[in-house]
Amino acid sequence: MKVPFLDLRRQHAPIQDRLEDATLRVIRSGRYVLGPEVAAFESEFARYCGTRYAVALNSGTSALHLALLAAGVGRGDEVITTPLSFVATVSAIHYTGARAVFVDVDPRTYTLDPALLAVAITPRTRAIMPVHLYGRIADMSAIREVAGRLPVIEDACQAHGAALEGRRAGSLGDLGCFSFYPSKNLGACGEGGAVTTDDPERAETIRRLRDWGQSGKYRHVLKGFNYRMDELQAAVLRVKLERLDGWNAERREIARAYRRALEDLPLALPEDVDGHVYHLFAARAKGRDELRRALESAGVETGVHYPVPLHRVPAFAEFGYVEKRFPAAEAVADEEISLPLYPGLSAEEVDTVRRALEGIVAGVPR
């Protein structure tokens, strides 16, 4: 039996008719960009996250970029984030002309370590961007306390529906950034993103920036972008948003099954905390690359998130980030292995992963 790393058809199968109805409705409507589906999705997603506003965009990267601009970040500024994330987190900072200042992750949570935050703040710091990595919310109350009046921007691209003390990701900072890339916990059938906020002025700034900085037709009051969401993606996301809590519950169930199945193996498993939505099941193992190859031969596909910490990305050489050491993030980059975890993954498949791992650990040739 082969266990694929991800199979979105399984997630879509039970709602196939509704997805097809929604897309046909859009195609027949004659409205394709920033229309009624986008407006409806924005209010439904804001309500879901517990914020006053959500502004729909064409990607998570665009969400990070516009949230930074709306927070006042620009040329010569510094933005604090972690070196353990997808490359987009830092690229969005660079788009504004600012540079990243990295703070290492807590080795237990894999999110920004608040104990290391205060010393990283300088007179140039303009914003703090924690990442809710793998579906676990960063230590937001400690981060906010150290941040003081500095805006805190959540990179919630892996944390749709994740919660901390009853409040959802996207409502825990000044601005929340989401990606709806197909593989995310809430994914479109294409690209998409959104910023959530309670601040009416920032919401309006982001609405203008996504559509060429216009305050009215051809009134370009800001230097803007084409970051608009299309109606097809909004219609799909409206159908899928109704299922998000159920899918996240299923992800937690699968994580529990893995934890029971793998507890005796020499793997470090992610901590189970309330509100975790397991975008990824990020385990750790010494000899990770060998283990991945052995699992692949046993029919189990895995992933790595991420093999190169962001301070060591070759494209960012000019910023000199590589001079600094971030031991916790570097260790994760060397040891992290993501096991298959997604809605529709069966108990038999979890058991196949367990048997494959047990065989490899016991040295049984396969």
Give the interface with ligand PLP as residue ranges (CB under 6 A): 59-61, 85-86, 88-89, 131, 155, 157-158, 179, 181, 193
From 268, 298, 305, select the one nearest 285 (Cα to Cα): 268
> Which secondary-structure segment (H or E) carries 128?
strand 125-128
Closest distance to ligand PLP from the beta carbon of 354 (Å): 27
Closest distance to ligand PLP from the beta carbon of 343 (Å): 18
Closest distance to ligand PLP from the beta carbon of 136 (Å): 12
Closest distance to ligand PLP from the beta carbon of 35 (Å): 21
Residue in the structure block whose two tokens are 């470090």: 268
DSSP state of 152: B
In the complex with ligand PLP, the residue whose CB is nearer, 106 or 351, is 106
Closest distance to ligand PLP from the beta carbon of 197 (Å): 17
CA 191 to chain centre: 14
Residue in the structure block whose two tokens are 């709602």: 15
Q: How many CB atoms lie within 10 A of CB 273?
A: 11
In the complex with ligand PLP, the residue whose CB is nearer, 184 or 354, is 184
Q: Which residues pair with 211 in a beta bridge?
A: 226
Closest distance to ligand PLP from the beta carbon of 61 (Å): 3
Residue in the structure block whose two tokens are 């070759």: 314
Instruction: Give the residue at shortest CB distance from ligand PLP.
Output: 60
In the complex with ligand PLP, the residue whose CB is nearer, 78 or 155, is 155
In the complex with ligand PLP, the residue whose CB is nearer, 11 or 85, is 85
Token pair in block for residue 67:
């949230």
The contacts of residue 116 (CB under 8 Å, 6+ apart) are 103, 104
From 291, 305, 302, 269, select the one nearest 359 (Cα to Cα): 291
In the complex with ligand PLP, the residue whose CB is nearer, 183 or 359, is 183
In the complex with ligand PLP, the residue whose CB is nearer, 48 or 86, is 86
Closest distance to ligand PLP from the beta carbon of 341 (Å): 15
Distance CA 315, CA 91 (A): 10
Residue in the structure block whose two tokens are 């502004």: 55
Closest distance to ligand PLP from the beta carbon of 340 (Å): 17
Distance CA 267, CA 131 (A): 24
DSSP class per residue in 160-218 = TT-EETTEETTSSSSEEEEE--TTSSS--SS--EEEEES-HHHHHHHHHHHBTTEEETT
In the complex with ligand PLP, the residue whose CB is nearer, 53 or 86, is 86
In the complex with ligand PLP, the residue whose CB is nearer, 172 or 350, is 172
